[in-house]
Amino acid sequence: MRNLKNKRFLFLSVFMLMLLFILAAVIIYRVFQSPAPVPHVHEPDPHAGHVHEPDPHAGHANEIDAELVSLRQITLSPQAQKLAEVVLAPVRRLDAEVEVRLTGKVQADETRLAYITAWAPGRIDELSINFTGVAVQRGESTATLYSPELITAQAELIQAVNAARLQSERGMQQTRVLAERTEQAAREKLRRLGMSSRQIEQIIEHGIPQEHMVLHAPVSGIVTEMNARQGMYVDTGTRLFTIADLSVVWVVLQAFESDLPWIQVGQQVDFMVEALPGETFQGEVVFIDPVVEPRTRTVGVRLNVPNPDQRLKPEMYVTAVQRFQPDEVQEEAPLVIPVSAPLLTGRRAVVYVALPERPGVYMGREVVLGSRAGNHFIVLRGLEEGELVVARGAFKIDSAVQVNAQPSMMTPEPGAGAAHDHDHGPIPDPREIPDDAPTTVMAVPSEFARQLPILDQAIHGIHAALDTADLDRIRAAFQNFGRRLEDVDAASLRGTHAALVWNELAMLLGNDAYLGGEIRGLREAERVMHTLEEHHARLTAVFVSEEAPEAPPVSPPLPAHEEDPHAGHEH
């Protein structure tokens, strides 16, 4: 019974939350309804059916209100602006600088670590080092080892030396050579057991095996690890001491993935340690870990740091602040906007530009971004110095634009101005249009339509460059397309809905051309080309010359003397 009551209570709670959500959505929608000027359009002919074919005698039937300058334009009431918490910021030039903050620790140089091990099984009878942290010099005694195996090897050497002398005195050449070979083998065995050449000569000189073997430090440094204890029995290879040469240390910093483009092998990096505030050290980047640490999503960056006075000690915490100038910073300071302004979609982003002379009017624009420089993004294309962008509240404005079925960050290809001009439907993607479906077209002046085939030729040039796989040629082909796009004169479209559509597509195609001119690989070039072709297909599907008697097919129209007289039956 109790479970049944709980279920009823849960059901009622969910039902009430749904009602509140629906009510909030309705309120927000009403608040964000923009009182944009309603354009003057001609009423559609109710007998025309669903196919919007241009009437060559109708003149410019898609004339609009002069206050409309973009398909992405929206007007917010003062109440809506307050609700969206809109904050504006100017587009300005700034000597952009990227600041990369890294943290890490000091570590011993692994290439300067030395281990003292037992070269023969035995017993540690004496220790010269009693604790870790003590400094030792190269050749200094560290421990004394008693080893029966070592004593046996010394005895074999003494016997071999005596035998070689005896055979040499007797003049027996064959046996003397054999004895000398035995002596050399005995010497080599002792060397492999850790005895130096000087110790071996002393054994031969005295003719008596040494009961103990002294283990010497192979390098100067600090004892960082001690496993030996007096009286302990050890086997061959047992590690007794670890010695670290701290005259050069490693500093291992942790870099986030986003910081990696700014870090390169060979760079000098300044850093500080908490133990020595106010003092700056410097090291060289010698290694960048090829694997990302899965838990922290960071990459190790290793510095080699001279440490002659050994002030830097292993496990000290390190903080490095490195400043770089982005590649975009050349002779002139680049344009920048606050990091909160763009709605990011990769290198392309959507920003909203305020029109100062018309309070409450905002216009969406796709721009190309460069590197992030601190609290700013570098703008490569799409904005002019002095323009005002929405630094806060852009996402809320974009949501309102999306509700109006206008191009936005979330829906970059919605109805082409459906909220402003009901005489024209969405811009179609020809690849998604069925063969028997009618194509929405716009009649444009012939002086404008005659310029569009130039873009087709430029696209053919990009395809030809892609076939060569020559990156320089591909970049040049994209740049040529951009120049041809800028040469198109759209003055004849002024004051029409077609002008808004052209401005939208020209903006997208211009960004495609810019990014294509900056490609660094074939895959990137193919991706940019795919996007450019999508935008160009929308262009060719929408515009038709006023001189054309019928709506053109999806593909670009043939020259007048090659047109198919039966093409009209397909539409």
* pLDDT at 445 exceeding the cut of 80: yes
Q: Which of 40-54, 347-361, 407-421 has the lowest mean pLDDT?
A: 40-54
Amino acid at 311: R
99-109+245-324 architecture in CATH? Beta Barrel (2.40)
Question: Closest Cα to residue 367, out of 153, 558, 514?
Answer: 514
End-to-end C-alpha distance for the chain, whole angstroms? 67
Rounded to an integer, the average pLDDT of 131-156 is: 87
Percentage of the chain beyond pLDDT 90 is: 41
pLDDT of residue 412: 73
Which pLDDT value is given to residue 119? 84
For 232-289, write each residue's pLDDT tens digit. 999 988 999 999 999 999 999 999 988 888 888 998 999 999 888 889 999 999 999 9
Residue 470 CA to residue 99 CA, distance in Å, equals: 35
pLDDT at residue 10 is higher than 70: no
Is residue 123 packed enough to be buried (19+ CB in 10 Å), middle (13-18) or exposed (0-12)?
A: middle
Residue range 391-406: average pLDDT?
Answer: 88
Q: Classify the C-alpha dihedral 480-481-482-484 as positive or negative.
A: positive
pLDDT at position 11 is 65
Buried residues in 386-408 as b, exposed as e (16+ CB within 10 A): ebebbbebbebbbbbbebbbbbb
Average pLDDT for the chain: 80
| Domain spans in the chain, listed from the N-terminal domain onward | 1-31, 39-71+416-571, 99-109+245-324, 119-237
At residue 552, the pLDDT reads 47
CA angle 376, 372, 280 (to 5 degrees): 95
Highest mean pLDDT among 69-73, 194-198, 210-214, 547-551 belongs to 69-73
Q: How many residues does the chain have?
A: 571
pLDDT of residue 425: 37
68-72, 104-108, 338-342, 464-468: segment of lowest average pLDDT:
68-72
The tens digit of pLDDT for each residue in 13-46 reads 766 767 665 665 555 555 445 444 433 333 334 3
Look at the pTM and tell me if it is higher than 0.75.
Answer: no
pLDDT digits (tens, 9 = 90+) for 352-393: 999 988 999 999 999 999 888 878 899 999 999 999 999 999
Percent helix, strand, coil in the chain, to 5, is 35, 25, 40
State how far Cα 82 lies from the chain centre.
36
